[in-house]
């Protein structure tokens, strides 16, 4: 409860009060905001390139999706005039047909009309096996797309896919047919369009991209929200060193810093002329994926012992200044399927020792655990160069060491860790963060279904539970939202009790923005530029 | 002339060997180009396979090498895996800031290290020599990333005279603003080079000062400054030219740390980013150009020896 109260207190101090003050002021048109990016985007073409926070931040200012998620996970209409549902007939009763109605009179930034043909073109491009998009989830399930008129697009699915609306939300923004349709699909996602998509539907349009330095976006005169955006332009300045980024903010050379390190919390808190926001709820969750290819970790008792024997509260307190939230499973607070009745397992080393004993692990003469003469050794890996993960590792090594387990730490650069170590299961325990996705249908199968073991998915822990498999199968054919929620909760309960991974915490997302910038609000399901049309700066 | 032709032929062979080394090393790196996509739950295996095919990574390594080499010989360094841009254009965009930063720091560093080296050597064991030696060791020992951040803290935060980072004013770019942004990164690199080079100059000048021809020049009644410039410095520069040529070549590849800290959009930044993303074509393009510059710089250094000392014959 302590973390929750501090969280709420900080939110009130850092978000609600300034927000209330901002609302009392009258928005002013004009001005430029400088947003500092820690990495240079790889692409500004939606659904192209690798998934990348900073690329999607810029894309959000340049394109508009059919739907977008608000700060609390609720879908809102973007280019579409309403969110399709069973009630309004946008989703057919059998869950196989989705009808979107576009707002009338939509235009691209070059003045050309934005119609249902653009949406159909985008769908056919993204479902094309020749096209390597960031996400292919949902698009191959489209059997056909029809466009009865210029503002209506109808998707006919091959099979029920409950999160289909999310395949058209946030970063999955329609692309301009009149620019791209002369290029073979295999070349669109790897060619020049990544840096210059040619026409935009967002509040801003690209003015200039100086590679390695900055990206300037300026007001799109054809943006559908009349009177918006308030700003004339946003400059995304690439500052690849986080110390320099903080100093640049301090010197007033940038207005926004996003995805900032917790190690700088004290400094960020006290920066004059800036306000610190933590996000309404954390955008992701950190966990230790336990590789069940190691026979010791296949035992649920051992996995539970490792969880009971690890002081996660200490990580939250010492490493995260009590700003991270404890989690019980992969559906953390803020997720649409979060179930507060499922509690995180407590720190209980005595119970951990008992469970290890029951699993056949006994202490040898050197005080370390062994079974059939073999010592209990865990190879623990994560990305190198992350100060908070190094601190986590020290706690893991100490706590599991007390149980009699030897922890060997081997860290790797992120590209090696995610490219080789994790998918090939070259460590016993692997710590990393997953970002929240808007629908559990998009990630639960990937993490837990037995046929998603690499290379077929992200079941890096090699978890195999027929009951969970059956629930996922049922989830994939269920349309009714209430029934779906029931299934999500049931999977959440099983995975919290069986711990295929040790769910550590949901870290906060630290961002600062200059006090001259108004309406800067974090969104749990989208990056901070999600509402850039309503940003404005005091004169 | 024959020597020159021989050296050029040798250089071409060396360049080719460096392409083999670069290609081999880059492809031996763990992680691979698809690392950026590997942890993407939204990308299906079929899509990953399509990506591998589109990038031409499904071909045998030897085929990939020769197809890359063939394209390089025609002036095509390929396209970035990460951004789809032509490598030659990416390098073209990042080279001018690096050249600007390198030339500015080289020019200052060259003058300063000659002056400091000569003063230090001619006033050997004086308090000035000790002070300059101390400063040189300080300069060599200071990590660049620390010194750069200290410069920012003092000259951008405490006394806001220079900008923290960047290449130019983004809203209103101008030459003056560009030079304003150049000062701190240029000082960082200058200090690093002065610290190194001034020690070479000092050691070489000391060695030459003890030579008979210097004593003879003094005995002939030439002024001290004439002896230093005409007889000492000219001879002392010969070993220094080798060090200078190597440094010129390496900096064209980018002063990675300095450029990263000051968000200077040069070759070092490009190299750092490409390494992060395992962007093979860009990494190979930069390494190839750096290797070429090092080879050419060394060739020029060899030619410079003959100018500095006519006794040296290139045959």
**What is the rounded distance in angstroms from the CA atom of residue A233 to the CA atom of residue A32?**
5
* Contact indicator for B266, B98 with CB cutoff of 8 Å: yes
- Closest residue on chain B to A167 (Cα): B42
Tell me the pLDDT tens digit for each residue of A324-371. Answer: 999 999 999 878 899 999 999 999 999 999 999 999 999 998 999 999
Report whether A142 contacts A125 (CB < 8 A).
no
Determine, for residues B263 and A458 on separate chains, whether the beta-carbon distance falls below 8 Å: no
Residues B120, B9: one domain?
no
pLDDT reading at A19 higher than 50: no
- Our CA-based measurement puts residue A4 at a distance from the nearest CA of chain B, in whole angstroms, of 30
Is the confidence at residue A248, as pLDDT, over 70? yes
What pLDDT score does A28 carry?
93
- pLDDT score recorded for residue A6: 42
Of the listed ranges A300-304, B112-116, B167-171, the least confidently predicted one is B167-171
Residues B53 and B114 in one domain: no
Q: Do B43 and A43 touch (CB under 8 A)?
A: no
Contact assessment for residue A68 and residue A530, using Cβ atoms and an 8 Å cutoff: yes
Quickly list H helices, chain B: 2-28, 35-38, 45-54, 61-73, 87-122, 127-141, 144-152, 175-209, 212-219, 224-226, 234-252, 256-261, 267-276, 280-308
Q: Is B95 within a domain?
A: yes
Residue A87 has pLDDT above 50, yes or no: yes
Report, as an integer, the average pLDDT of A237-266: 89
Residue B246 covered by a domain: yes
The answer to whether the beta carbons of residues B228 and B118 sit under 8 Å apart is yes
Which chain A residues are within 8 Å of B83, Cβ to Cβ?
42-43, 49, 194-195, 211
**Alpha carbon of A423 to those of A278, A298, A458, B35: distances in Å?**
31, 18, 8, 10
* CB–CB contact A247 B81 (8 Å): no
Q: Supply the ipTM of this predicted assembly.
A: 0.78
Is the residue at B12 inside a domain? yes
Question: Under an 8 A CB cutoff, do B31 and A416 touch?
Answer: yes
Q: Which residues of B touch A32 (CB under 8 A)?
A: 171
Query: Is the CB of A418 less than 8 angstroms away from the CB of B35?
Result: yes
Mean pLDDT, range A1-23, rounded to an integer? 42
Span B16-74, pLDDT tens digits: 898 888 888 888 876 666 665 655 555 666 667 777 777 777 888 888 888 888 888 88
Q: Which residue of A has its CA nearest to B267?
A: A212
B251 and B222 in a common domain: yes
What is the percent of chain B where pLDDT is above 90? 30
What integer is the mean pLDDT of B209-223? Answer: 87
Set of chain A residues whose Cβ sits within 8 Å of the Cβ of B93? 210-212
B278 to A415: CB separation less than 8 angstroms, yes or no: yes
Which of helix, strand or coil describes residue A483? helix
CB contact under 8 A, A129 and B156: no
How does the average pLDDT of chain A come out, rounded?
A: 89
Is pLDDT at A13 greater than 50 in this prediction? no
Is-cis flag, bond preceding B218, omega within 30? no
Cross-strand bridge partners of residue A408: A379
Residue A235 and residue B171: Cβ atoms within 8 Å?
A: yes
| Residues of chain A found within 8 Å of residue B278, distances taken between Cβ atoms | 415, 419
The single-letter DSSP state of residue A107 is: B
Residues from chain A contacting residue B48 (CB–CB below 8 Å): 132
**Given an 8 Å threshold on Cβ–Cβ distance, is A238 in contact with B263?**
yes
Taking contacts as CB-CB distances below 8 angstroms, the residues of chain B near A244 are: 149, 152, 164-165, 261-263
pLDDT band with cut points at 50, 70 and 90 for residue B254: low
| CATH assignment of the domain containing B201 | 1.10.3720.10
- For residue A55, give the chain B residue with the closest CA: B83
Overall average pLDDT of the B224-240 stretch: 84
For the segment B112-142, what is each residue's pLDDT rounded down to a tens digit?
A: 999 999 999 988 889 999 999 999 999 888 8
Packed helices B175-209 and B234-252: angle between N→C axes, nearest 10 degrees:
140
Split at pLDDT 50, 70, 90, the class of A17 is: very low
pLDDT, position A7: 43
How confident is the model over A217-232, as a mean pLDDT? 97
Helices (H), A166-228: 177-180, 185-188
- pLDDT of A1 over the 50 cut: no
Residues B152 and B206 in one domain: yes
Residue to substitute from A51, A237, A240, A431, interface B, most B β-carbons within 10 A:
A240
All residues of chain B having their beta carbon less than 8 Å from the beta carbon of residue A136 are: 42-44, 46-47
Residue B98 lies in a domain: yes
Average pLDDT over chain B, rounded to whole? 85
Q: Which domain holds residue B49?
A: 2-73
**Residue B159 shares a structural domain with residue B58:** no
B64 and B18 in a common domain: yes
C-alpha atoms less than 13 angstroms from C-alpha of A395 in its C-beta half-sphere: 23
Query: B111 and B47 in one domain?
Result: no
Read off the pLDDT of each residue in A60-74 and give the average, rounded to a whole number: 90
Find the CB nearest B265 among A137, A213, A251: A213
Among B42, B263, B266, the residue with its CB nearest the CB of A134 is B42
Quick one: B168 and B273 in the same domain?
yes
Residues B201, B113 contacting (CB under 8 angstroms): yes
Q: What's the Cα-to-Cα distance from A378 to each of A56, A66, A306, A430, rounded to whole Å?
A: 37, 47, 11, 10
**Residue B147 falls within a domain, yes or no?**
yes
| pLDDT at position B297 | 84
Query: What is the pLDDT at residue A257?
Result: 93
* Backbone φ/ψ region at B166: left (φ over 0), alpha (ψ -120 to 50), beta: left
3-state secondary structure of A513: strand
Quickly state the pLDDT bin for A413 (edges 50, 70, 90): confident
Give the nearest chain A residue to B278 (CA atoms): A415
B263 vs A189, A240, A458: nearest CB: A240
Q: What is the mean pLDDT of residues A417-444?
A: 85
Do B9 and B114 share a structural domain?
Answer: no
Chain B CB contacts of A141 below 8 Å:
none
Res. B224: pLDDT tops 60: yes
Residues of B with Cβ-Cβ distance to A194 under 8 angstroms: 83-85
Q: Is the pLDDT of residue B296 over 90?
A: no
Q: Are residues B98 and B176 in the same domain?
A: yes
CB spacing of B277 vs A437 below 8 angstroms: no
Structural domain includes residue B54: yes
* B84/A140 Cβ within 8 A: no
Whether the bond between A463 and the residue before it is cis, its omega within 30 degrees of 0, is no
Indicate the DSSP class of residue A80.
B
Number of domains in chain B: 2
Nearest by CB to residue A244, choosing from B34, B261, B277, is B261
Q: What percent of chain A has pLDDT over 90?
A: 64
**pLDDT tens digits along A113-171:** 999 999 999 999 999 888 877 777 789 889 999 999 999 999 999 988 888 998 999 88
B110 and B258 inside one domain: yes
pLDDT of A15 > 70? The answer is no
Residue A217: predicted pLDDT: 97
- Do A132 and B34 make contact, defined as CB atoms within 8 angstroms? no
- Higher-pLDDT residue of A219, A337: A219
Q: Contact B84/A192, CB-based, under 8 Å? A: yes
Could you tell me which residues come within 8 angstroms of residue B219 by beta carbon, excluding any fewer than 6 positions away?
none
Beta-carbon separation of B36 and A415 below 8 A: yes
Interface test with B, best of A415, A438, A447, A452 (most B CBs within 10 A): A415
Q: Are residues B151 and B190 in the same domain?
A: yes
Nearest-Cα residue of chain A relative to residue B155: A251
Q: Which of A32, A42, A163 to mutate to test the interface with B (most CBs of B within 10 A)?
A: A42
Nearest to A132 among B50, B167, B171 (CB): B50
Phi, psi of B17 (to 5 degrees): -60, -35
CB B257 within 8 A of CB B264: no
Q: Which of A48, A53, A136 to mutate to test the interface with B (most CBs of B within 10 A)?
A: A136
Q: For residue B189, tell me if it sits in a domain.
A: yes
List CB contacts (< 8 A) between A191 and chain B: 79, 84
Q: Which pLDDT band, with edges at 50, 70 and 90, does B315 fall under?
A: low
Report the residue from B30, B149, B270 with minimal CB separation from A416.
B30
Q: What percent of chain A has pLDDT over 70?
A: 94
Alpha-carbon radius of gyration of chain B = 24
**All residues at 6 or more sequence positions from B157 whose CB lies less than 8 Å from its CB, including other chains:** A247, A250, A251, B164
Q: Is residue B278 part of a domain?
A: yes
How many other C-beta atoms lie within 10 A of the C-beta of residue B171?
Answer: 11
Do B45 and A455 lie within an 8 Å CB cutoff? yes
Backbone angles phi, psi at A280, to 5 degrees: -65, -40
| Mean pLDDT along residues B282-289 | 88
Per-residue confidence (pLDDT) for residue B303, from 0 to 100: 81
């Amino acid at each position: 409860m302590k973390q929750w109260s501090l969280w709420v207190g900080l939110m009130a101090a850092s978000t609600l009060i300034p927000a209330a003050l901002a609302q009392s002021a009258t928005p002013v048109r004009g001005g430029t905001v400088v947003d500092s990016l820690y990495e240079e985007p790889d692409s500004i073409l939606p659904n192209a390139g690798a998934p990348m926070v900073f690329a999607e931040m810029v894309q959000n200012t340049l394109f508009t999706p059919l739907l977008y998620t608000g700060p609390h996970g609720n879908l809102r209409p973007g280019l579409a005039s309403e969110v399709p549902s069973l009630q309004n007939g946008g989703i057919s009763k059998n869950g196989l047909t989705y009808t979107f109605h576009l707002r009338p009179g939509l235009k691209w930034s070059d003045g050309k009309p934005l119609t249902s043909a653009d949406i159909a073109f985008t769908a056919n491009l993204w479902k094309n096996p020749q096209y390597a998009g960031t996400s292919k989830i949902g698009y191959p399930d489209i059997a056909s797309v029809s466009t009865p008129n210029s503002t209506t697009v109808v998707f006919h699915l091959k099979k029920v896919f409950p999160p289909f609306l999310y395949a058209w939300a946030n970063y999955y923004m329609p692309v301009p047919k009149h620019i791209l349709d002369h290029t073979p699909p295999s070349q669109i996602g790897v060619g020049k369009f990544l840096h210059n998509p040619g026409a935009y539907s967002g509040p801003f349009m690209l003015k200039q991209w100086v590679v390695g330095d900055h990206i300037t976006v300026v007001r799109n005169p054809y943006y559908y929200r009349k009177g918006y955006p308030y700003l004339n332009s946003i400059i995304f300045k690439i500052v690849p060193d986080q110390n320099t980024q903080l100093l640049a903010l301090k010197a007033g050379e940038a207005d926004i810093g996003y995805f900032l390190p917790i190690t700088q919390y004290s400094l960020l808190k006290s920066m004059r002329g800036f306000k610190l926001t933590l996000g309404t709820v954390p955008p992701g969750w950190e966990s230790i994926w336990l590789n069940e290819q190691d026979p010791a970790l296949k035992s649920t008792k051992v996995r539970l012992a490792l969880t009971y024997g690890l002081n996660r509260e200490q990580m939250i307190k010492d490493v995260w200044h009590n700003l991270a939230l404890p989690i019980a499973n992969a559906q953390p607070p803020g997720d649409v399927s979060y179930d507060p009745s499922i509690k995180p397992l407590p720190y209980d080393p005595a119970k951990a020792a008992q469970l290890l004993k029951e699993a056949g692990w006994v202490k040898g003469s050197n005080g370390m655990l062994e079974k059939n003469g073999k010592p209990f050794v865990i190879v623990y890996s994560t990305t190198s160069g992350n100060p908070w993960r190094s601190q986590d590792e020290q706690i893991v090594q100490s706590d599991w060491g007390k149980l009699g387990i030897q922890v060997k730490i081997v860290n790797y650069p992120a590209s090696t860790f995610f490219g080789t170590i994790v998918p090939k299961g070259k460590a016993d325990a692997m710590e990393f963060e997953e970002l929240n996705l808007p629908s559990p249908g998009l990630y639960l199968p990937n993490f837990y279904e037995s046929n998603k073991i690499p290379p077929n998915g992200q079941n890096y822990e090699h978890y195999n539970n027929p009951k969970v498999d059956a629930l996922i199968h049922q989830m994939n054919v269920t349309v009714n939202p209430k029934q779906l929620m029931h299934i999500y909760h049931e999977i959440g309960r099983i995975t919290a009790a069986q711990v295929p991974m040790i769910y550590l915490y949901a870290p906060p997302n630290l961002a600062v923005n200059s006090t001259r910038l108004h309406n800067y609000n974090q969104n749990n399901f989208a990056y901070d530029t999600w509402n850039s049309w309503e940003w404005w700066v005091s004169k | 002339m024959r020597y020159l032709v021989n050296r050029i032929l040798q250089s071409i062979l060396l360049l080719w060997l460096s392409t083999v080394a670069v290609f081999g090393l880059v492809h031996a790196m763990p992680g691979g180009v698809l690392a950026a996509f590997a942890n993407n739950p939204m990308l299906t295996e079929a899509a990953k396979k399509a990506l591998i095919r589109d990038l031409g990574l499904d071909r045998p390594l030897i085929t990939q090498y020769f197809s890359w080499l063939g394209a390089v010989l025609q002036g095509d360094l390929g396209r970035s895996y990460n951004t789809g841009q032509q490598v030659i254009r990416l390098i073209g965009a990042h080279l001018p800031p690096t050249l600007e930063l390198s030339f500015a720091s080289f020019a200052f560093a060259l003058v300063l290290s000659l002056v400091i080296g000569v003063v230090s050597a001619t006033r050997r064991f004086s308090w000035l020599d000790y002070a300059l030696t101390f400063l040189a060791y300080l300069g060599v020992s200071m990590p660049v990333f620390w010194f750069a951040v200290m410069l920012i803290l003092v000259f951008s935060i405490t006394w806001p005279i220079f900008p923290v980072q960047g290449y130019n004013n983004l809203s209103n770019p101008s030459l003056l603003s560009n030079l304003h942004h150049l000062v701190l990164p240029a000082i960082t690199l200058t200090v690093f080079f002065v610290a190194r080079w001034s020690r070479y100059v000092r050691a070489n000048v000391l060695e030459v000062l003890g030579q008979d021809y210097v004593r003879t020049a003094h005995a002939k009644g030439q002024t001290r400054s004439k002896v230093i410039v005409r007889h000492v410095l000219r001879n002392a520069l010969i070993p220094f030219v080798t060090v200078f040529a190597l440094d010129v070549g390496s900096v064209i590849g980018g002063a990675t740390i300095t450029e990263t800290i000051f968000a200077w959009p040069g070759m070092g930044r490009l190299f750092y980013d490409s390494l992060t993303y395992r962007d093979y074509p860009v990494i190979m393009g930069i390494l190839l150009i750096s290797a070429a510059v090092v080879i050419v710089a060394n060739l020029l250094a060899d030619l410079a020896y003959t100018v500095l000392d006519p006794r040296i014959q290139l045959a």
